[in-house]
Structure 1
Amino acid sequence: MSAAAILALALVLDAVLGEPDWLWRRMPHPAVLMGRAVAWGEARLNSGDMRRARGVVMVTGLGIGALILGAVLQELGWAVEVVVLAVLLAHRSLVDHVGAVADSLRFSLGDARLMVARIVSRETGAMDGPAVSRAALESAAENFSDGVVAPAFWFLVGGLPGVVFYKLVNTADSMVGYRTPRYEAFGWAAARLDDLLNWVPARLSALMIAGLGGRLGDWPAITADARRHRSPNAGWPEAAAARVLGVALAGPRAYDGEMRAFPFVNPAGRGEIGADEIDAGVTLLWRVWMAALAVLAVAALLAG
């Protein structure tokens, strides 16, 4: 079976099942296992001198293990590939979590703050409605790139070894890729490799979002906004989504009790936004998902 057909089936399986609680209550999710592996390596290597080199050793060792595991799973046949890939995709869980923020915001700002805190790392306790909405939309755009487009891209490039390797690096970055005294040196390798692996998917995500939203003509403005973002990759899908939805995203937010003056993405967009804009963002992601599925279906048919 072609890679396009396997990816199309995995996208559908993920969309139908999402993250079934009945399954992950009985066994650990692969992301949890990857997290445990990273935590094991960090506990043993992140000390003493040469922490950057030690971080390189951890990422290299775990990365080789991920490639081997992906290759073994791939040899078990296309049905296993579909299931494993569906588990490693995160479209359904993403739109469910983002949609839950909109549902909560319609009834209670406090509940909405709690819901958005599940998907962002910034402080949410003092957020007003528009800030909650911006956070939800930024998470939707960024995680569509990291959780859907990037795994799909690396599967098409490198099969299951490629996508398992990507997910391992992405997990490591989310755990140790911080500029803090503990992680700045040790997490350097994970952070830089994650930036590299997401370089193409982030820009591809922006292209898909802008194209499906009819805003390809805004590409120069999207590029300019993306380059002002603190992340080399996250700004691309955020800037595209902001233009399509006509909203201003990013801007000031609090981390560790400190308000940081990050610039707005699409500053001319609407600032007073709420649940309706979040719903529009979810709809946009589904439209991009359906277009990608249609392209994969055609490619699978042409591949015979």
Structure 2
Amino acid sequence: MDIALILLLAMLIDAVFGEPNWLWDHVPHPAVLIGNAIGWADRKFNKGNAKTAGVLLLIALVIIGWWVGGMIEWLGAIPTILAAAILIAQKSLAEHVAAVGQALRRSLEDGRREVAKIVGRDTTDMSEPEVARAAIESGAENLSDGVIAPIFWFLVAGLPGLLAYKTVNTADSMIGYKNEKYEDFGWASARFDDLINWIPARLTALLIMISHLDFNRWSSIRDDASLHRSPNAGWPEAAMARVLDIALAGPRSYDGEMRDYSYVNEFGRRSIGGNDIDLAVQALWRSWALMLVIVGLIALI
């Protein structure tokens, strides 16, 4: 079966059924298995010459991800479709972001509790606009990392490419921090994750922009993205900020320490809330739908 057709079916299955939680009640999710392996490596090898150990870990993760993906592909189209559907997290992402908007309409405290499930920043003292910004930023960034990038790498290299990408992206989320503990051990994973997300991040921004029939603000999105602390996350965030006409990013607190980050789309609306989160969720689906059309056209060609 054609690789694009397999991907098309996987995207549709994920969009309809989402995460099969009944399955994860009995067997561990692939992301959990990857995370457990990285956690073990962290405890075992993050000492001494940690940078070399981190490079070797990255190589091992890519090889193992590629090999497992190849083995599943060898089993046939149906296992490949199901595996890809599990690893493309569009419906789960949209549901988690939408839940913050629903909770925020009930109360600010409910919104804080819900957004704490999807962001790593301090949420205890967040205002309503800060809760909304955090949810929308998480949605935009994870549209790139959790949906468009896996789709892109599946198109490039099939399930081996998708699984190799997932292992590296999971490693970056666990050990890719610029702090004393991970500056050396997580260096290779963080840098390689930046590399493999370079095209998907910009593709995601383009999808957000085109799906909203906004063809004139690419230079503004590029300029805003350059203000972001990440070489990639700023692109989908800047595009989302522009199409919703809101300001994203800005100051936030991590571990009790305020970080004075620049705003993305600085002059956009800052008084935002649950309704803006709903609009962001719609943007996630519109961008996904445009990507679905592109994959469908590739399958036809």
Task: Compute the TM-score of the two structures, normalised by the length of structure 2.
Answer: 0.98
3-state DSSP of counterpart to 1:216: coil
2:237 aligns with 238
3-state DSSP of counterpart to 2:75: coil
Q: Give the conservation status (yes or no) of the 8 Å contact 1:154–1:166.
A: yes
2:190 aligns with 191
Once the two structures are superposed, residues 128-178 of structure 1 have per-residue CA deviations (whole angstroms, 9 ceiling, x without a partner) of 100000000000100000000000000001111100000000011111111
Q: Which consecutive unaligned segments of at least 5 residues does structure 2 have? A: none
Shift, 1:296, TM fit: 2.0
Once the two structures are superposed, residues 161-212 of structure 1 have per-residue CA deviations (whole angstroms, 9 ceiling, x without a partner) of 1000000000111111111211111000110011011000000000110111
3-state DSSP of counterpart to 1:254: strand
d(CA) in 2 for partners of 1:88, 1:220: 32
- The aligned amino acid for 1:39 is G
1:36 aligns with 36
2:3 aligns with 3
d(CA) in 2 for partners of 1:159, 1:298: 17
d(CA) in 2 for partners of 1:182, 1:294: 43
d(CA) in 1 for partners of 2:177, 2:197: 17
Shift, 1:13, TM fit: 0.7
Aligned length: 301
Shift, 1:295, TM fit: 2.4
Task: Compute the TM-score of the two structures, normalised by the length of structure 1.
Answer: 0.97
Alignment of 1:93-132 (within 5 A): 93-132=92-131
Once the two structures are superposed, residues 16-58 of structure 1 have per-residue CA deviations (whole angstroms, 9 ceiling, x without a partner) of 111122110010000000001111111111112x211110011
Once the two structures are superposed, residues 89-127 of structure 1 have per-residue CA deviations (whole angstroms, 9 ceiling, x without a partner) of 110010000000000010111011011011111001000
1:269 aligns with 268
Instruction: After superposing the two structures, state which structure 1 stretch, 60-69 or 170-179, moved more.
Output: 60-69
- The aligned amino acid for 1:2 is D
d(CA) in 1 for partners of 2:123, 2:293: 38
- The aligned amino acid for 1:136 is A
- The aligned amino acid for 2:172 is D
d(CA) in 1 for partners of 2:297, 2:194: 31
d(CA) in 2 for partners of 1:152, 1:293: 10
1:212 aligns with 211
Q: 1:296 and 2:295 equivalent? A: yes
d(CA) in 1 for partners of 2:59, 2:224: 34
1:156 aligns with 155
Q: Give the conservation status (yes or no) of the 8 Å contact 1:52–1:186.
A: yes
- The aligned amino acid for 2:44 is R
2:277 aligns with 278
d(CA) in 2 for partners of 1:109, 1:18: 28
d(CA) in 1 for partners of 2:213, 2:252: 30
d(CA) in 2 for partners of 1:151, 1:14: 13
1:45 aligns with 45
Q: Give the conservation status (yes or no) of the 8 Å contact 1:59–1:189.
A: yes
3-state DSSP of counterpart to 1:119: coil
The share of aligned pairs that are identical, in percent, is 53
- The aligned amino acid for 2:75 is L
Q: Give the conservation status (yes or no) of the 8 Å contact 1:42–1:58.
A: no
Q: Give the conservation status (yes or no) of the 8 Å contact 1:207–1:216.
A: no
2:20 aligns with 20
